[in-house]
A and B are shown apart, each in its own frame.
Chain A
Amino acid sequence: MIRIQLIVYFLLGCVALQAAAGDEFFETEIRPLLHDRCSQCHGEELQTAGIDFRDPATVLGSAVVSGDESSPLIRAVRYESTLKMPPDSKLSEGEINALVLWVRMGAPWPGYEPVAAETAEVREDPVESDHWAFQPLSVPEVPGPFQPGWVRNDIDRFILARLRASDLDPAPRASKLALLRRAKFDLLGLPPTETEIQEFLADTDELAFARVVEQFLGSPHYGERWGRHWLDVARYADSTGVDEDHPFGDSWRYRDYVVDAFNEDLPYDQFVREQIAGDLLPAADGSSINRRGIIATGFLALGPMALAQRDPIQKKYDVVDEQVDTTSKAFLGLTIACARCHDHKFDPILTSDYYALAGIFASTRTFDNWSKNGSRYYKYPLVEADVYATYSKQAEALGRLESLWRIARRVAVQRYIRDGPGQLIAAAMLASAGLGPADGLEAATVEWFREYLAPRASARAHLEPWHAGEGNKAAVAAAYQAEFLGALGETIERTDSWFERALEAIEAETEIPNLPSQQPDSLFYRDLRADGAVFDLAADTHQGNFASRDRKRVTGLKGRIESAKATLPAKPSMANAVTEDDTVRQRIFRRGQHKNPGTEVPKRFPLVLAGTDQPEVETGSGRRELAAWLGSEENPLTARVLVNRVWVWHFGEGLVRTPNNYGMRGEPPTHPLLLDWLAQQFIDSGWSIKSLHRLIMNSATYQMSSAISENAYRVDSENRLWSRFERRRLTIEELRDSYLLISGRLDPAVGGDTDLGSGTLAEFDRNNRRINPDDSARRSIYLPLMRNKLPNLLGLFDFGDATTANGKRSVTNVAPQALYLMNSGFALSTAGSMAAGLDGPAAERVRQAYLLALGRPPSSEESKLAMQYVGVRSDAGPAWASLCKMLLASNEFHYVE
């Protein structure tokens, strides 16, 4: 057969015909041959030597050279080389000839267009760049001297030098009220209280503001506000997002770790190292496992992950990619992930740099078992290994008993149907058609059959015998009943025999065999057993009807479950964290495609930053080495990136206005000298973020008013020179937390398990409901963040998507925000509680309302207008609530000066 075809193909001369014929030849002769004889080792399951016969890119150009009869594949199948394929038995002569012919034809492979060889092979020669961000920190001289007056510390000297050069004056100092409100929102995310205002206004000492800053830095709520900033960078969320969006369950431990780190002023270099490799660092308290370090690696573990992705390698490397991306943006301000498919288009980052880092994360365990379909994320026990082993052994035994118990109940119901109501199917069918007596039948059952058997537009072939059967309906009905009972009987029998084996397995403490679950072929059976159908019977309501052997089985199992539960130790705490995995020798994936592997690259850091002289990663994933390099002052970017982030969070914009991008396409720093000087100060302070706050907040630069002069507007409308403090809108957290505080409802508890709200947060439950923020009075940082169903409120006010590192939130002003502040239950109830707390004559109430909402008394004009407004409204109670609602919706409330 094959020979005849060969001749035909040889005879084909026309080129176009040859192409079409080539494709057909491949589909009819070659593809089936490769599939049948080769794909066991070079296909879906295994890709030995990187060859996968489903993917031409792994075959053509290497194993098969077009037109070359001495291609490795041909020599292998001819058993001419040391490599003899297939190893078990040589192909037939006809098969070998077919392959030879195919190679001679130019190895046509339908749909495959070879890509040009990528340049991205391993380059280990030095990468040079004079880009500012890659240079070591400079040691700038502080500008000056300046006339005494405005300058408060060295930051101001750098700022003033640039202002002077542009003939700009700094704005005057902000009012004390404005300063206090600015500092409290800035450090704690809340408005100042009346007491705080009075105390601060009364304190006329020169150091009054410094003292207030100190007081706020000491509050446990400081970590909630600044931890939240870092959580933006760490794209923190409580679920996997992407496709299935399963809750992580223990993600909150990482959130609390971050809050604590800020509150304790954990040195930033250590903070960096712990988030990359905390599990590998020694515990501070000398215990055998570093619980805090483990939890810190949630930074890597809590990214988005596609749990349902069916290509396990794709699944794994999408997570690796995400880890490269977030790590490089967060700590280095670089978009290294751009080099996944090709050398970075703009920055001196090579594809080999990318895969050198990817190899580190590929050797790190983020999934429970990445190669398995539907694998969960990995969870790290926060107890000693032997304690956990004891627990999991018992928990698994309990789980086995429980699944057995469920099946026991299911088969009990089935047996009840078989011996009870199943015997009445024929009678019910006849009764429903008025062809038989309804005695002894439940009316609902007869009614169900009447509806079910009524003729319908859509064809139901399996009911045709009933509808067609003119003559003996009774016999037809009996046949249906028999079909049903037959199908049910088979199911019961199969379960019963499995049950015996399952029980034995439990005794032997081995895996329970899989229950052969086979849906019976009978469509009639399936209709009757479908959800909501006549025989969809719940075990709970029919326990009394169980046969005695079933009852014995069910109660026996229940007893064993209870005693297993009684002896089960408390569930050990777990963390969503990473751990070491098998060490991967990472290859470059050409064009980012894992099916197209290239040269192997060693684990290392980007050449442009770390040079060519890097220590070899000898054992482990390489995270330990990565952590040390990232958290070191040798690295020119770590400190620069962090001090700039802190500047962004204080001032709304950075000295580098692209805080996640220090590459060629990022913005260069507006004040490069100040940036390096701050970075150096930061390192010298022992990487103390609180010291950085002190330095910044006690500067005159921070304390300027937001007023803009005409000159400044003309010369520097974007405030790149910092001639004024930039007015900023409250974040959604500040907005919601302030509303809660003002209405007296704020629950100030710090930290703890994810607040469930009204939703269920059961892990692996697809039906998680959207969390309603109104159901919680906790601070907004504690609202659970399900990536694919973030509370609408967060999206409405520019929270971001909790899926990629966010260095600076955008600010939009759109109508739906206004609708929220006018009509939402939250806005109304807040205004209502606030109004209810007002007391005294109208003028006094107005004064209280202004103080509460805006932290200042009203002017006499404002007071008059407010009283007029309340007077115009006929209904006094709602009118006061309405006034409060409008004060809280005002621009003055929503902007920090």
Chain B
Amino acid sequence: MAPKTSLSRRAMLGRTALGFGSLGLYSLLSEASLLAESPAGPLAARKPHFAARAKRIIFLFMHGGVSHVDTFDPKPRLDQDNGKPLPIKRSLTFNAKDAGGLMRSPWTFHPRGESGIPVSDLFPEIAGCADDLCVIRSMVGEGVDHGAAMLQLFTGTFSFSRPSMGAWTLYGLGTENQNLPGFITIKPTQWQGGDKLFATSFLPGAYQGTPIGSSPMKVDDIIESPIDHVLPSGSTTEEQRLELEFLRQMNRRHADVRRLDPDLEARIQAFELAFRMQAEAPEAFDVSRETEATRRLYGLDQESTRDFGWQCLLARRLSERGVRVVQATHSGAEEKWDHHSDIVRLHPIRAREVDRPIAGLIKDLKSRGLLDDTLVVWGGEFGRTPFSEGADGRDHNPYGFSIFMAGGGVKAGSIYGATDEFGYHAVEDRMHIHDLHATVLHLMGLDHERLTYRHGGRDFRLTDVAGTVATKILA
């Protein structure tokens, strides 16, 4: 059954009224005010389909595509056959004309932690969290260009306009803190999908993600006013209380002579809620309240890690306060990880920007007891080719790549799936993006086949007509 979303209070009231026709008008009215007093409306927290492993998601998105064969998926065959041509047929490639021979990884892999998960030297700090990770080495997508790959990762398809996975999650579960938006995306990109990556498409607008700045803005550009209009402007809090009281009385008089209209009631409640949001939001975004030690843990004390460190720390603060879905995008004026050339020089710069912040986030969530029911997902829109592009780059590779998850009911210290001996195609336990979505929803307590929305005569799902839950990774 799809969750009832009480979107149209009027419609719901209608059903109630028809269902209980014998009740007097008085009970109808109390029904109306009862509904109206559930202030959250479409965002009210809802029960999952079954017991959830995770209550909230933090998705750390690496824009541009991290090279999996240089980070989480070591391939001895590339060392052996460095420079030799790829002996199998090349699949559709973004920049086919510059495709070169196989290219070994310039970085060394070591088994890390007790689990022995191999992580390359690019991520020394994340490597320290190896025993908390569930590394998935068999991701598969179809988008060969950034836009298609990102749309598929965030919405399930690049061919149609569809709701984002954050919007679906919010639609399914509502949110736990009505004084903050339920779905927040920190520094999203403005191109290659843009707002579509956190939009609602045909789902109601209430499920849309709230952006905090956008790439390539820096922390300092954002910190003053993270959410639009959330701070009282031109009046003090006391003055605003007076304003709202005046407005409430005016709206009340108006509604009193227009009975039985729950929409008018809903709008009155929206103002009350807005007032409470104003009180809570600035505190939630105020990272300066953290201890020096915590700030260091996320790398806020260093220039190179300050930006993404702030994003990760903010992600924790928001998750802690019950925000259902948080996305943090690592991007800039260009795709941060898209190294078609010069990968040897550029991948380490990008890795350094995120390594400490991500490790800091995992450690911090863990020490606060939040990691158990917070699902952290890390990844890019695709991996990179095992063969070179030009002299010293790697091209896009959606056919097999790595992501990792941590916390939220996944098997810690484990590896799932495998690519072929080159790291080109996922061959074992392939996890298509639909499967990833099915699995993430499952961890959140939602059955991806039951989370549906009727639009244009059809029941739509995040996973379209596909998706299998990867039960092997469940703790």
Which residues of chain A have a CB within 8 Å of any CB of chain B? 27, 31-32, 34-35, 39, 44, 54, 110-111, 241-245, 304, 306, 308-311, 314, 318, 321, 329, 335, 338, 345-347, 458, 460, 519, 521, 523, 526, 658, 660-661, 663-666, 706-708, 710, 713-714, 717-718, 727, 729, 766, 770, 786-790, 792, 795-796, 798, 801, 803-804, 810-820, 822-825, 828, 862, 865, 869, 872-873, 878, 881-883, 885-887, 889-892, 894-895
Contact = CB atoms under 8 A, between A and B. Distances in A.
A816 B181 contact: yes
Nearest to B18: A717
14 contacts: A32-B88, A338-B456, A458-B348, A519-B390, A658-B457, A708-B261, A803-B196, A810-B7, A812-B42, A812-B205, A813-B266, A814-B43, A878-B234, A891-B255
Contact of A869 (B191, B195, B242, B253): B242
B382 to A, nearest CB: 12
Given A822-B229, A886-B247, A828 B234 contact: yes
Contacts of A39: 89
B267 interface: yes
Interface of B: 7, 10-11, 13-14, 17-18, 21, 25, 28, 41-43, 87-89, 91-94, 96, 144-148, 150-151, 158-161, 181, 190-196, 199-202, 204-206, 208, 210, 228-235, 239-240, 242-244, 246-247, 249-251, 253-255, 258-261, 263-264, 266-271, 273-274, 277-278, 341-342, 345, 348-349, 352, 390-391, 425, 427, 454, 456-458
B374 to A, nearest CB: 25
Contact of A44 (B18, B92, B159, B195): B92
Contacts of A523: 345
Contacts of A346: 457-458
Contact of A309 (B145, B160, B234, B457): B145
Contacts of A308: 145-148, 192
Contacts of B201: 801, 803-804
Nearest to B23: A714
Contacts of B348: 458
Given A243-B145, A243-B151, A245-B194, A882 B239 contact: yes
A873 B239 contact: yes
Given A346-B457, A664-B457, A788 B193 contact: yes
Nearest to A54: B89
B342 A31 contact: no
B179 to A, nearest CB: 9
B145 A310 contact: yes
* Listed residue (A54, A310, A666) with the most chain B CB atoms within 10 angstroms of its CB: A310
Contact of B161 (A27, A770, A803, A810): A803
Contacts of A770: 190
Contacts of A892: 250-251, 254
A790 B258 contact: no
B258 A706 contact: yes
A823 B230 contact: yes
B230 A338 contact: no
A243 B158 contact: yes
Nearest to A799: B205
A242 B151 contact: yes
Given A34-B89, A308-B147, A717-B17, 20 more contacts: A27-B88, A54-B89, A110-B427, A111-B425, A244-B147, A304-B161, A309-B158, A310-B94, A311-B92, A314-B159, A729-B267, A787-B194, A810-B204, A815-B273, A816-B274, A818-B270, A819-B229, A819-B230, A823-B232, A869-B242
B274 A665 contact: no
A872 B151 CA distance: 53
Closest 5 CB pairs of A and B: A243-B147, A788-B194, A665-B457, A818-B274, A717-B14
Contacts of B94: 310
A822 B146 contact: no
B35 to A, nearest CB: 13
A35 B86 CA distance: 12
Contact of A813 (B41, B89, B194): B41
Nearest to A244: B147
Given A32-B88, A869-B246, A795 B28 contact: no
Contact of A872 (B208, B242, B427): B242
Nearest to B122: A458
Contacts of B42: 812, 814
B91 to A, nearest CB: 7
A815 B250 contact: no
A660 B458 CA distance: 12
Contact of A890 (B10, B145, B254): B254
Contacts of B244: 822
A804 B161 contact: yes
A885 B243 contact: yes
Nearest to A806: B202
A546 B310 CA distance: 46
B457 A822 contact: no
Contacts of B193: 242-243, 788
A789 B195 contact: yes
A599 to B, nearest CB: 23
B254 A526 contact: no
* Listed residue (B89, B146, B251, B349) with the most chain A CB atoms within 10 angstroms of its CB: B89
A681 to B, nearest CB: 28
A815 B341 contact: no
Contact of B273 (A243, A318, A818): A818
Contacts of B264: 727, 891, 895
Given A706-B258, A825-B233, A309 B205 contact: no
A816 B259 contact: no
A814 B228 contact: no
Contact of B191 (A338, A460, A766): A766
A885 B260 CA distance: 27
Contacts of B159: 306, 314, 318, 321
A790 B254 CA distance: 33
Contact of B260 (A713, A792, A812, A823): A713
A377 to B, nearest CB: 15
A789 B194 contact: yes
Nearest to A790: B195
A881 B458 CA distance: 48
A32 B190 CA distance: 42
A811 B89 contact: no
Nearest to A881: B234
Contacts of A345: 458
A27 B250 CA distance: 76
A509 B10 CA distance: 70
Contacts of B192: 243-244, 308
A459 to B, nearest CB: 8
A458 B254 CA distance: 68
Given A519-B341, A717-B17, A729-B263, A886 B250 contact: yes
B457 A878 contact: no
Contacts of B242: 869, 872-873
B25 A710 contact: yes
B181 to A, nearest CB: 7
A727 B13 CA distance: 16
B249 A865 contact: yes
Contacts of B258: 706-707, 727
Contact of A801 (B161, B243, B352): B161
Contacts of B240: 822
A814 B25 contact: no
B145 A717 contact: no
B194 A798 contact: no
Nearest to A660: B456
Contacts of A663: 457
A216 to B, nearest CB: 25
Given A244-B192, A306-B148, A770-B190, A338 B458 contact: yes
A661 B457 contact: yes
Nearest to B277: A815
B457 A666 contact: yes
B147 A31 contact: no
Nearest to A459: B348
Nearest to A32: B87
